[in-house]
Amino acid sequence: MCGIIGLVHPKTADLKLNNASYEVYRALLTLQHRGQDAAGILSYDEEKGKFRGEKDLGLVSQVFNLENLEKLKGRMAIGHNRYATVGTDGKSDLQPIVTGYPFGVGMVHNGNLVNYHQLAKEFSDNYKVQQLTNNDVEVLLNLWCHGVQEKRDWDAEISFEHIKASAKNIFEKAIGAYAIAGLLSGVGLFGMRDPQGIRPLILGKKIWDKEKNLVSHCLVSETTALNFLGFEYVRDIKPGEVIFIQEDGEIHSEELATPKSASPCMFEWVYFSAAESTFEGKSIYGVRLNLGRVLGRRARKLIENNVIRPDIVCPVPDTSRTSAIALAESLGLPYREGLIKNRYTQRSFILNTQDKREKAVELKLSPVRSEIEGKNILLVDDSIVRGTTSKKIIQLLKKYGAKDITMAITCPPLRHGCFYGIDFPKESELIANDKNLEEIADYIGANRVIFLDEADLKEAVEKNDLCMACVNKKYPTSVEAGEEFARQRSLSKEGNA
Ligand code: SF4
């Protein structure tokens, strides 16, 4: 899972519109929660007719400063926040990536190709194409270039017809989740979303001067970035749609691959997106309130049957705070912050090793003894993946005197691997894969656990068509290549890829 943005400013002498990289940088800051491993920006400098790029490991604020942003000239740019789910921690695997042949194009993407290794091998076997990175965005870029090359009349300008040919090539061959933004040298910005719409991509615009038709456009992972930049939301790019924003602001789009049913990832609402964002017309905050209310229904039954007698509702900060508030309201119980988060540490779930995740819990959560000691706690969290983080949190609460802990989770048990951009491709890593509810509670040290079921989740999101494959194994694409993907991922985490 990553954060992406592409932006095109209008052609004007107004200097503030000549540096798209600055807006891209600000957008990446607001998308930091989507990936904290690395960040990168690529711009197109029209004056010099060349791409300019900067990318490095670290947070956006560590990678960029006024000096290097100044150098990323041009009114068109793309940017990326990396959360590694494929490839290594090495610099060569960072995005954006760029090529000059058969046309100058830079690309960023959010998601994962299930058949990445297969496609990389096909390129190597059939065309002797050497992969320069361990990142699936390179395969997407190669597919894009192949599509345009087959269609291209070398005397003609790159047009929407070429972009459609490239997008079709990707839609036909790439299996998995991908939301793409691409920068075409001197030509414009394109974007596309996989035929199942697993990952988000949103179109926004900002009108600077209506009479002079000075309008900027952007494609971005979350609406929170639009708000921050002062852009207005236009629409979600549809599953299987390709969009082309010409350098003069003219927009072309077409749905090239129609899905049987769209399958946006339920985890965008449960955990991943910022609370203030909206995805597919559904407010993330609103859905999290619903999740808390639905969970409240389950907890009420247990209270009525004298199974639990919670004194307080307490969130594991930050994501589950919204649901915990709604849950407390629905049960008429006090809402208390029993754990305070150090705001300067990273989200633990998306840290890429177990060791880092466990250390992050120690660093980021401080217990509030006065609210915990002697209490029966209804503890709310968004998910239990491997169980080790929950175990640490419960140990901490018990150490500070919690009497009884019911862990209430705002999604169903995760039992199957994800191949679409969240880093748990192996079933065997998941605590719920081979444990029932009592065993899960035992393992994490809670007195009991409550999960939502699939119907609860659909009710809360108010959508039936969702990817819930990590819950029900109903993958929206073929996952024939999934085993190889999981094997390669393990190797790269061990540094052997
Ligand atoms: S498998 Fe789970 S985490 Fe992965 S895309 Fe589907 S719902 Fe999201």
CATH number at residue 183: 3.60.20.10
User: How far, in Å, CA of 217 to CA of 206, rounded?
Assistant: 7
Residue 266 near ligand 1, beta carbon < 6 Å = yes
- Which pLDDT tens digit goes with each residue over 173-207? 999 999 999 999 999 999 999 999 999 999 999 99
- Which pLDDT tens digit goes with each residue over 328-353? 999 999 999 999 988 766 555 555 56
- Which pLDDT tens digit goes with each residue over 111-143? 999 999 999 999 999 988 888 898 999 999 999
Last residue of a domain, one of 234, 263, 292: 263
Task: State the catalytic residues.
Answer: 2
- Give the β-pairing of 312-315 and 376-381: parallel
Q: What pLDDT is attached to residue 349?
A: 53
Among residues 113, 71, 98, 94, the alpha carbon closest in space to that of 183 is found at 98
Query: Does residue 29 belong to any structural domain of this protein?
Result: yes
User: How far, in Å, CA of 228 to CA of 426, rounded?
Assistant: 37
d(CA 265, ligand 1 centre) in Å: 5
CA 281, 38, 418, 483 torsion: positive or negative?
A: positive
Query: Does residue 221 belong to any structural domain of this protein?
Result: yes
- Which pLDDT tens digit goes with each residue over 41-95? 999 999 999 999 999 999 999 999 999 999 999 999 999 999 887 666 678 899 9
What is the secondary structure of 101-138 as a DSSP string?
A: SSS-EEEEEEEEETTHHHHHHHHHHHH-PPP-SS-HHH
Query: Does residue 268 belong to any structural domain of this protein?
Result: no
User: How far, in Å, CA of 109 to CA of 191, rounded?
Assistant: 9
Q: What pLDDT is attached to residue 46?
A: 93
Q: Are residues 294 and 228 in the same domain?
A: no
- Domain count along the chain: 2
Whose Cα sits closest to atom 2 in ligand 1? 470
Q: Are residues 353 and 440 in the same domain?
A: yes
Query: Does residue 495 belong to any structural domain of this protein?
Result: no
- Which pLDDT tens digit goes with each residue over 269-313? 999 999 999 999 999 999 999 999 999 999 999 999 999 999 999
Q: Are residues 231 and 321 in the same domain?
A: no
Cβ neighbours of residue 26 closer than 8 Å, sequence gap 6 or more = 228, 229
Residue 349 near ligand 1, beta carbon < 6 Å = no
- Which pLDDT tens digit goes with each residue over 9-27? 999 877 777 889 999 999 9
Mutate to test the pocket of ligand 1, among 85, 198, 271, 350 (most ligand atoms within 8 A of CB): 198
Name the residue with tokens 């004056």.
47
Q: What pLDDT is attached to residue 423?
A: 80
Q: What pLDDT is attached to residue 497?
A: 45
Query: Does residue 228 belong to any structural domain of this protein?
Result: yes
Q: Which residue has the higher pLDDT, 343 or 449?
A: 449
Query: Does residue 213 belong to any structural domain of this protein?
Result: yes
Q: What angle do CA 462, 466, 472 make, to 5 degrees?
A: 120
- Which pLDDT tens digit goes with each residue over 137-187? 999 999 999 888 777 676 678 899 999 999 999 999 999 999 999 999 999
Q: What pLDDT is attached to residue 172?
A: 95
Residue 38 near ligand 1, beta carbon < 6 Å = no
Q: Are residues 190 and 70 in the same domain?
A: yes
* Residue ranges making up the domain that contains 176: 3-263
Mutate to test the pocket of ligand 1, among 266, 385, 386 (most ligand atoms within 8 A of CB): 266
Q: What is the CATH number of the domain that holds 333?
A: 3.40.50.2020
- For residue 243, the SS3 value is strand
Q: Which atom of ligand 1 is nearest to the CA of 466?
A: 7
Predicted confidence band of residue 30 (pLDDT cuts 50, 70, 90): very high
Q: Which atom of ligand 1 is nearest to the CA of 469?
A: 1
Whose Cα sits closest to atom 8 in ligand 1? 265
- For residue 309, the SS3 value is coil
Is the CB of residue 239 less than 8 Å from the CB of residue 228? no
Q: Are residues 239 and 290 in the same domain?
A: no
Last residue of a domain, one of 238, 263, 288: 263
- Which pLDDT tens digit goes with each residue over 359-404? 656 668 999 999 999 999 999 999 999 999 999 999 999 999 999 9
- pLDDT, mean over the chain: 92
Query: Does residue 269 belong to any structural domain of this protein?
Result: no
Q: Are residues 120 and 247 in the same domain?
A: yes
